[in-house]
Amino acid sequence: PATISSTLDGAPPLIIGHRGLPGLYPEEVIAGYEAAISGGTDALELDLQSSSDGVLFACHNVYLSDTTDVAKHPEFASRRKTRMVDGVATGPDWYISDFTAAELRTLRVRQPIATRSKQYDGLYPMATFQEIVDLAKRAMAAHSGRRIYVYPETKNPLYQRQLGRPLEEKLLAMLTKEGWNTPDAPVFVQSFDPASLKLMRKLGLKTKVVQLIDGTDIDYRSGAITYTSPDTAKPFSWLQAGDPRTFAAMVTAAGLAEIKTYADGIGPWKPYILPARGVDAAGNPVTALAEASNMPPTSLIADAHNAGLFVHAYTFRDESQHLTRTYHRDPKAEYHAYFSLGVDGVFTDFSTTARSALTDWLKERGTVRKEGTGPARRP
């Protein structure tokens, strides 16, 4: 495969199909993952949730109303409630942990973002983790030599454990059953909470591990990331322990060194790499990303690489409201900016755009690789 001097392992950056292909399909459905594979994704990214009977499903939130038709099921009306989830009051809503796997399978998934296509709403059931693993294995068998990674996230892990639905043991057992609990398995395990990742290492997880790094918002006057909401300011285990730090601590030299003790890479929110700022004619900060412009890049990618950590940045989206003015409404320009900085992977809602952008970028550098084939990446 092509050699890219700026990535940690010299391989081209990975295209990570964030929740499948949600730019076109509802989130985390098999049809979306299949389309992402056809469009050239290297990885099937998903969020783990547990049914009441312990089956692992793929769904971004612990509740169901935004991505399914649960509200149209009168038989489940009485299950609507309010809950505290990692320090944040949520609901009233329907919670995955109150439903059996069989009940969840009666629901149909829908697109939660108003500006995206609704043409596939109501067609597909929620996907189980097992189905996504099986799909990756089928795809690799059908495309000899192509690597399709599975990229699960333990979502709200302490909340799940408090409910008696712990994710970590189940995930580890499943990876072991599939023969995938090895350093070179096509697996990345991710979480925002280091407690979850450290627990899995203690339990014997041997796959690649990724520490996600969040933030609440951007102060467009300075370009600084803000930390004002408890669910995005710090991992919940830190909040519970009274730890005063925020996610900002993770991108310091000491923070990266600590992450290296239990993880192989980081998954930072994009502004940690390319901050953005902007003020209007009156000198007031702009209120939207599309009105802001890029600042010079931080040293995070180089710092992480120096610590021996790869960098997978999130989340790339085609729509103009997700692009700074610097990119002139061209999503490919954003990918090229991050590729040029040495990013090792990109979480994207539009795998097809990402693959096309990477193909163009490699051609410009005379390092063409076969369309849609992921490099064999060393652990």
Find the radius of gyration of the CA atoms of the chain. 20
Cα–Cα distance for residue pair 317/348, rounded to 1 Å: 6
Measure the CA–CA gap between 273 and 297, rounded to whole angstroms: 6
What number is the average pLDDT over the span 144-172? 96
How far apart, in whole angstroms, are the C-alpha atoms of residue 105 and residue 127? 8
Dihedral sign computed on CA atoms, order 376, 343, 200, 91: negative
> What is the Cα–Cα distance from 372 to 160, expressed in whole angstroms?
36
Residues 96-119: tens digit of each pLDDT: 999 999 999 999 999 999 999 999
User: What is the tens place of the pLDDT at every residue in 211-225?
Assistant: 999 999 999 999 999
Question: 378 pLDDT band (50/70/90 cuts)?
Answer: very low
Tell me the C-alpha distance between 231 and 156, whole Å: 9
Give the confidence band of 368 by pLDDT, cuts at 50, 70, 90. Answer: low
Q: How confident is the model at residue 2 (pLDDT cuts 50, 70, 90)?
A: low
| Among the ranges given (222-226, 289-293, 367-371), the one the predictor scored with the smallest mean pLDDT | 367-371
The two most distant CA atoms of the chain are separated, in Å, by 61
Q: What is the pLDDT of residue 9?
A: 95
User: Considering the chain, what is the average pLDDT of its residues?
Assistant: 95
With a CB cutoff of 8 Å and minimum separation 6, the contacts of 293 are: 276, 277, 278, 324, 325, 326
CA 139, CA 132: separation in Å to the nearest integer? 10
Residue 372 has pLDDT above 60, yes or no: no
pLDDT for 3 equals: 64
pLDDT of residue 347: 99
Give the pLDDT of residue 243.
97
- According to the model, what pLDDT value does residue 145 have? 87
Query: What does the pLDDT read at residue 374?
Result: 43
Q: Which pLDDT score, from 0 to 100, does residue 373 have? A: 43
370 pLDDT higher than 50 = no
Query: Can you name the residues that pair with 189 across neighbouring β-strands?
Result: 209
Q: Is the pLDDT of residue 20 over 80?
A: yes
Average pLDDT over residues 185-203: 99
Rounded Cα–Cα distance for residues 12 and 6 (Å): 9
pLDDT for 299:
98
The β-bridge partners of 14 are 345
pLDDT per residue as tens digits for the range 32-46: 999 999 999 999 999
Q: Average pLDDT in the 348-372 region?
A: 86
What domains can be seen in the chain, in order of their start residue?
Answer: 14-62+126-364 (3.20.20.190)
* Per-residue pLDDT at 375 exceeds 60: no
What is the model's pLDDT at position 349?
Answer: 99
Residue 144 has a pLDDT of: 86
Q: For the full predicted model, state whether its pTM sits above 0.85.
A: yes
pLDDT at 226: 99
Please write down the HEC assignment for all residues of the chain. CCCCCCCCCCCCCEEEEECCCCCCCCCCCHHHHHHHHHCCCCEEEEEEEECCCCCEEECCCCECCCCECHHHCHHHHHHCEEEEECCEEEEEECEHHHCCHHHHCCCCECCCCCCCCCCCCCCCCCCEHHHHHHHHHHHHHHCCCCCCEEEEEECCHHHHHHCCCCCHHHHHHHHHHCCCCCCCCCEEEEECCHHHHHHHHHHCCCCEEEEEECCCEEECCCCEEECCCHHHHCCHHHHHHCCCCCHHHHHCHHHHHHHHCCCCEEEEEHHHCCCEECECCCCCECCCHHHCEECCCCCHHHHHHHCCCEEEEEEECCCHHHCCHHHCCCHHHHHHHHHHHCCCEEEECCHHHHHHHHHHHHHHCCCCCCCCCCCCCCC
When pLDDT is cut at 50, 70 and 90, the band that residue 87 belongs to is confident
